[in-house]
Structure formats: C-alpha cells, structure tokens
A and B are shown apart, each in its own frame.
Chain A
Amino acid sequence: MSEKILYSYTGIFDTPDEIIHAAEKASEYGFKNYDVHTPYPLHGMNKAMKLPPSKLGYVALVVGLSGALAALLLMFWMSAVDYPIVIGGKPFFSFPAYVPVMFEVTVLSASIATVLTMLFIFFKLPNNAHPLNDTLYMKKVSSDKYGISIQAEDNKFNEADVRRFLEDCDAKEITAVYYDKEEINYKHKILEPKFIGFLLFTALLTSGVTYFTLNKLLYMPPFDWMMEQNKLNPQATSTVFDDGFGMRKPVEGTIARGFTPYSFSGQPEAAEVNLVNPLPVSKSVLELGQQKYDTFCSPCHGYYGEGDSRLRGQFPNPPSLHSEKIRTWKDGRIFHVITDGQNIMPSYSSQLTVNEIWAIVHYTRVLQRALNAKESDLQ
C-alpha cells in the first residue's frame, strides 16, 4: 500500500475571539492556502484573513444589464418587427409598457446567474468528496466549534512548523487530514447496468407519455379543443321533436326571408312552359351551381348525374339525369322537380334559393352536354 497523501493540518477553537486571533496570525505568518471553518459567518474574519472583497457583484451587474437589454430587444423584435399588431392605438414599440417585463427579466437573470456562479464556479460545488468532509473536524465546525485548516500545498507548509504554529495559537485537537484513497481513485461507471436501465426507463416513459398526450389525450374531453359541445350538428338526431330530426323545416304556412312562394306546385307542365332560366351562363354561375349540386344532389344522383348514388342502398337509386327525357325537358321542368320534388324525391325549396336552383339547372346542362356532346362541340 502506498502512503497516504496529506491534505492539511487542522486545529479547533472554542470561542470566536480565539479563531480570529489564529486567522490573523496565520495570515501574518504568510500562509496562503489555509482556511477557517465556522458554523456561521464571523464579523471581522475577512479582514483577519486579509481576503479581497467578493467580485460576485460584477456578475450580477453584467448579467442583469444583459438581461434587461435582451428583454428589450426581444420585445422590440416580437411586437414591432416579427408580428406587429396595433393594440389600443399605441405604437408597435411602446417602451414604457416594456419596463415591467425588463425589470423582472433583469432580476431573474441576475439572481440565477449570481447564485449559479457562486455555487458552481467560485465554490466548485457540489463537492461531497472533499477531504475535509466526513471528518470529526467537520462535525465540530458545523455545530459549535471554530476550526482552522492549513493545507499541505502551501509554500510555507512543513509538518513540524505547522504543528508548532497551531500549538502556539492554543488550538485543540490538532490533527492531520488525509485524502481519501477511494475518492481520489473513484471513476464514474457510465456503463453500469443500473444506469443504462435508468436511461431506458426514462426514454420509454417520455416517449410513452408524449405519444399518449399527442395521440390520445388531446382527443379526449375536456382536452379535445371543445369538439364535444352541447349543440346539434347537421344531420344529428334530436329527442326534442317527434320526428327525431335535428334539422328543422320551416313551420307550415310560413315563408323564410328571401324566399317567395312557388306558384306552380303540382303543375309540372305549366312550370315548364312558364318558367325561364333568368341567369346567364357564366363562370361564376356554373361554379355556384357545381357547389350546390355537389352538396345537395350528388349524394343521390352522383357527382356526374349518372344515378350512381353514394347511399349504398339506404335510399332507392334515382334515375340518371342523362336520359333523353330530361335532356329534352326545358329548364323550367327541372326547376320544378327541384322546387316541388317528384314522387319520393323531396323538395329542396327550403334549402336552396331560387337563384341557386337556377344555377343548378345550368350545371345539370353542363353535365349532360359533357356526356352527349353536340357535333359542333368537337370543332
């Protein structure tokens, strides 16, 4: 076994006055690497040890000012450059309104930075492996005794001299403190199975929780972006009305705003003779017709009017709109079918305005022409 490595010589004192004396003597003697350990800070000890004033104030100053500046610049960029919005008629860059946030960021950044600098840079903590820790000396100075420790790395260190020096100061329990072999030689074992198991566990947990949150949780009430609401959606059933329909027709004998009563009810021939499509054939009319046709007619008649219903047998398939009969019908007759209904096809007069119906009529002509083009269309 190799010999032990000496860290320091320590001595214990009972009263604050004695330790101050000892510290003064140590600095006069010329020791540099020595330290005093007291259960609480002693007034006058910094002077006795001739310590220069702490420089941590500068850390607070520099970080605090940078925090303030960063906050100001970020707020300027966010609200005047990246996404300017007028709020209360104030300028995009309203400095007075930024003062509170600047102040808070200053305090926050300076406090965090000063404390972290002190603990991790100045003190190099955490350091539970320090040779003085886990000693009888530490037990005493942590409670009610005052100790001095003169380190072996000091230039003036010499075992006999230091021992004599401590005896001269009337120190009690003069002991040598050695480095702990195990702690010096300790190596972190990254590949330990426990540690790897821990990593795996955390990875599984985080990915599981993330998957659950994004794919399941956000689709459950009350997290589902208010998907579930106390209202009836289109086509939903309702228990309020006898017929069970959620969507309601206008009350019998009433006419909604913007609608006019239909005067050819039950008279398809009269309608064919008297009604003329008032709309021009224009792009916007056809687009309106297409939109309304796809919404209201295509479920039964198919997108191209071929009678290819999407209702999968839940409703009798309607006839094709490309039949000779309908191609020769005048516009008024088709208008009549939509407005008045025909046999089992219901009326659409409460859902479509007169103009929308005429637009659909034009669109059916487009569909018909597409399947049975005239010869002139080919030229």
Chain B
Amino acid sequence: MSVVDHTKELSVVEGKPALRSLDDLISKPLETKPDKKFFIALSITLSMMGLFVIGLGLTFWYGVGMWGNNNPVGWAFDIVNFVFWVGIGHAGTLISAILFLFRQKWRTGIARFAEGMTIFAVMTALLFPLIHVGRPWLDGWLMPYPNQHGLWVNFTSPLLWDVFAVSTYFIVSLIFWYVGLIPDFATLRERTSTKIKKAVYSTFSLGWRFSNRHWQHYEMVYLILAGFATPLVLSVHTIVSFDFAVSILPGWHTTIFPPYFVAGAVFSGFAMVQNVLIFVRKIFNYEHIITLDTLEKMNKIMLVTGSMVGYAYAMEFFIAWYSGVQPEQFTFLNRAFGPYAWAYWIMVSCNVITPQLFWFKKIRRSIPIMFVVAVFVNVGMWFERFVIVVTSLSRDYLPSSWAYYTPTYVDFMILIGSFGFFFTWILLFTKALPVVSIAEVKAVVDDAQPSHKGH
C-alpha cells in the first residue's frame, strides 16, 4: 500500500466488481421498499417544506411587505437565497461537463447525483426571483412575447439576461441529465418484472437498445452537450454577478465579480455535493463506486476555489483602496467593521480559513472532518451573498437613508423551507432514479475496455 506506482492511473472503481453486481447495487434502492429511516427523513424535509408553503402563502396574500425588505435594502433574503441556490447548482454541471471534457474518470461515480442536485438547486433558485417580483402569477411578463400592451422586455437589463441564463441553464441541465439517463432506463426496463414499472421505464428509455451505431452518435452528443454546458455554467453565474456589477452601487460595481462569483459557486456547490454524497455512499453501500479518492479530489477542488474566493475578498479591499474612490473605501471598511461586521467575519472564517485545513492529507481523507468543513463552507457562502447584497444596500451614497436591515419570521420560514424543498426532491430522487450512472460506471471498471492486444 505504501508504495504507489505513479505511472499507472488509479482504479476509479475499487475492487473490480462484476458488471451485473453493479446493476444490482445501483438499482437496489429502486427495487426495495423505502425503510423507516427514509420516511423519517422525508417527514423532516416535508415539514420544512410546510414552512415554505406557509411563508409563501403569507407573502402572496399580504404582499412582500411581510419580508424585512424596505428602503434602502430592497434586495435581501430573496436575492441572497437565489444566488446561493444557483451557486449550489454549479458543481453538478462542473462535474458532469467540465470534468468530462478534461477526461476525469473519477467523475463517473458522482456525476449523475451532482447533475440531479444541479436541477433541484436551480429549481429552488428559480422560485426566488419569481416570488421576489411580488405578484408571481404575472411572471409570464418576464418573457418577451407579443402582448396587448405592445411592449417588449428590456434587453439591456442584466435582470433580463438572468431570466434567459437561468432558464436556459435549467433546460440544458435537464436535457443533459435525461440523455444520460436513457441507457439506465433501458437497463432497468430489462431488469424489472412488474408491469407498471416496465411500462414507465419503456416509455422513458424510448426503446433504447444499446446499439453501437447509437452509442457512436450518443457519445458525440454527450461531447457537444458538455461543450455547451461548460461555457453555459460559466455564463450563468457571470450573469448573476452582472445583476450587481452593472449597477453603480459601491461594493457591487466591480469587474472582479464574474470570476469571483463563479469560483464561489463551484466552491459552495462542491461542499453541498460532498455533504450529501457522504450520506448516499454510506446508506446505499456505494463506498467502492464513490470512493474516498473521489471525495479527496472534491476536497482539493474546494481548497482551490476557496483560496480563489479568499483572494477575491482581499482584492476587493485592495481595489477599493487603490481606486481612491471614497464611497468604495467606506463600503469595504463598513463591511468589515460596520454594523454587519458579524456577518462579514462569519463569511471570512468559514470561507477562507476553514478550507485551508484541506492542505492536510489526513483531513482531506477523514470523512467526519471534511463533512464539518463543508458545512462551514455552505454557511460561509450563504453569508457571502448576504454580505454582498445587504451591507452594500444598507449604507449607500446617501447617509440620510441608511438603515439596518432585519429579516422577519417570514424570511426565515422561506429560507428554511427552501432547504426542505431541495432535500425533498433529493430524497425522492434517491428512490426513483439510479443515483449513479450505471452505463458510465461500468465503462470505467478495470478491464471493462478492450485491451487492444494483438494489434
């Protein structure tokens, strides 16, 4: 064990399991009845979702006045949560598309799950701008369509770009996910014996028959989708950051925002994926598919992106000072030492200091510690968005309008509820679809590919 042959790629799937045993293992959660633990977990997330429903109901009935938002802090929890959840989604696309283009085989074990998380996170995120507009039943107005007012949307607004970016992101992620699921649906179709399941799987597998003449195009399309998803995922958080950067508010009006936001998104997304996968691999016995090596690699990515985020924090301060613009300088001093200093220092300690623990191999490979670190990262990244949105607004150019923002109980109901919404989907996903891509994992088992000997 101590001697590692660095000339050989490590096995992605440990122990060279038989291909059929992978089928059995991955489809087991779909073929067995959910156990008690599942129902306990589901009842917790559903209760949280109940809070969500009540919070949203109050908001719809009485209006957004139920939230703490008020002049000058017109954007608060709603936008913070939106940016947070979109960010969570980014890890999935990074794993499924960018790592695919870089031929990182270790992604296969976690790609399906991470993509699923992308979709659920984007669904959660999409809710926030939709309720933020106040009268969500008029959200159709966000799309340019011929209407009786003869009006069109404003194509020069970053908020409109956001509508396009996030909805495109959602649709493309969903397509990517479904294309990946087709062969797995076909495998399940061949396995199942119940009539209803067979009908469902047949429908969704579209009669896929594992033909190599199909695989050939399939792989091409997968490559094309990955090629599109890569710039897409970068564009989405870039455009989210434009919502801020294109304005003239000190603390928002910075050119560093796009890369800084993307790094932060990947950072928080990996933390969330890692947190959830730790449970999944334990509960479903996937330790040899989602290996400790994979988790370690994810921790390394968190270390890199965490350091990038830390660099961005420092650079913001530097630029504020270097620009010589007084309001900018004030904003940043105010962030660190003003009324919201508590939020700022939570953010710095969770995002910059904690991930530095991942320099140590022992910590990178210790499941309890990495779990805790990733939880801290998620807390920190939520506060990052809070700091950016709220501190900048609460003290802008006009001191007479300064005010301290405090969220209301409805804000908290919706925040907690959004987690309930997200995790309810995750739980249902683990019981309804294969959480690991069967076809992809088989392809990376040792000796699953021809040796091309005798050529």
Contact = CB atoms under 8 A, between A and B. Distances in A.
* A and B physically associate: yes
Interface of A: 16-17, 19-20, 23, 35-46, 49, 51, 53-54, 56-57, 60, 74-75, 78-79, 82-83, 85, 87-88, 90, 94, 97-98, 100-101, 103-105, 107-108, 110-112, 114-115, 118-119, 122-123, 125-130, 132-133, 138-139, 141-144, 221-223
A107 B210 contact: no
Contacts of A123: 206, 214, 217
A51 B439 contact: no
A162 B104 CA distance: 41
Contact of A37 (B211, B219, B447): B211
Nearest to A101: B164
A141 B210 contact: yes
Contacts of B18: 144
Interface string B170-185: 0110011001000100
B207 A129 contact: yes
Contacts of A74: 144
A140 B74 CA distance: 60
Contact of A130 (B154, B172, B209): B209
Q: Which 4 A-B pairs have CB atoms at the shortest separation, nearest pair first?
A: A144-B19, A54-B220, A128-B207, A97-B156
Contact of A83 (B137, B150, B156, B218): B150
A17 B449 CA distance: 8
A37 B164 contact: no
Contacts of A105: 164, 168
Contacts of A141: 210
A128 B218 contact: no
Interface residues of B, number: 72
B156 A107 contact: no
B319 interface: no
B235 A104 contact: yes
B190 A138 contact: yes
Contacts of A138: 190, 209-210
B263 to A, nearest CB: 20
A139 B190 contact: yes
Interface of B: 18-20, 23, 60-61, 63, 135, 137, 144, 150-152, 154-158, 160-161, 164-165, 168, 171-172, 175-176, 179, 183, 186-187, 189-191, 202-203, 205-221, 224-225, 228, 231-232, 235, 239, 242, 439-440, 442-443, 447-453
Given A108-B171, A111-B172, A101 B209 contact: no
Contacts of A114: 221, 224-225
Contacts of B452: 17, 20, 44
B224 A41 contact: no
17 contacts: A23-B212, A39-B439, A42-B449, A46-B216, A54-B219, A56-B217, A57-B220, A79-B156, A82-B152, A87-B157, A100-B165, A108-B168, A111-B176, A118-B218, A128-B202, A133-B207, A143-B187
B213 A35 contact: yes
Q: What is the predominant secondary structure among interface residues of chain B facing chain A?
A: helix
Contact of A107 (B152, B172, B186, B447): B172
A220 B216 CA distance: 56
Contacts of B206: 119, 123, 125-128
Which residue, A20, A74, A97, has most C-beta atoms of chain B within 10 A?
Answer: A97
B174 to A, nearest CB: 10
Nearest to A105: B164
Nearest to A19: B450
A290 to B, nearest CB: 33
Contact of A36 (B160, B189, B211, B228): B211
Contact of B453 (A17, A42, A101): A17
B262 to A, nearest CB: 15
A79 B220 contact: no
Contacts of A108: 168, 171-172
B450 A100 contact: no
Contacts of A107: 168, 172, 228, 231-232
B107 to A, nearest CB: 15
B19 A54 contact: no
Nearest to B219: A41
A257 B171 CA distance: 61
A54 B208 CA distance: 18
